Structure 1
Amino acid sequence: MSIKSETIGLIAGGGQFPLLVAKGAAAQGHRVVAVFFKGHSSDEVSSVVHDSKELKLGQLSKLISFFQKNGVTKVVMAGTINKPKAFDIRPDFRAAKLLFKLATKGDDVLLRTIANEFEAEGMQVVGPHVYAPELLTPSGLLTRRKPTEMESSDLSVGWKTARELGRLDIGQCVVVREGVITAVEAIEGTDAAIKRGCELGGKGCCIVKVFKPGQEDRVDMPSIGLKTIEGMKSVGATCLGVEAGKSLFFDLDKAIEFANKNGMTIIGLTPEWFEDK
Structure 2
Amino acid sequence: MALERVSSNKAFGGDLIKFKFKSDSLGGLDANFNVYLPPEAKQTSVPVLIYLAGLTCTEDTGAQKGGFLRDASAEGIAIIFPDTSPRGAGIDGEDADWDFGTGAGFYLDATASKWSKYYNMYSHITAELPEVIKESGLPIDWSKKSIFGHSMGGHGALTIYLESLKTNSPFLSASAFAPISNPTKAPWGEKAFKGYLSGGLEEAKSKYDATEAITKAKGPLKILVDSGTSDNFYKQKQLLPENLIAAAKSAGHSEADVNIRIRDGYDHSYYFISTFAPEHIQYHAKILKA
The answer to whether TM tops 0.5 is no
Higher Cα Rg, which structure = 1
User: Which structure has greater helix proportion?
Assistant: 1
TM-score by structure 2 length?
Answer: 0.29
TM-score by structure 1 length?
Answer: 0.30
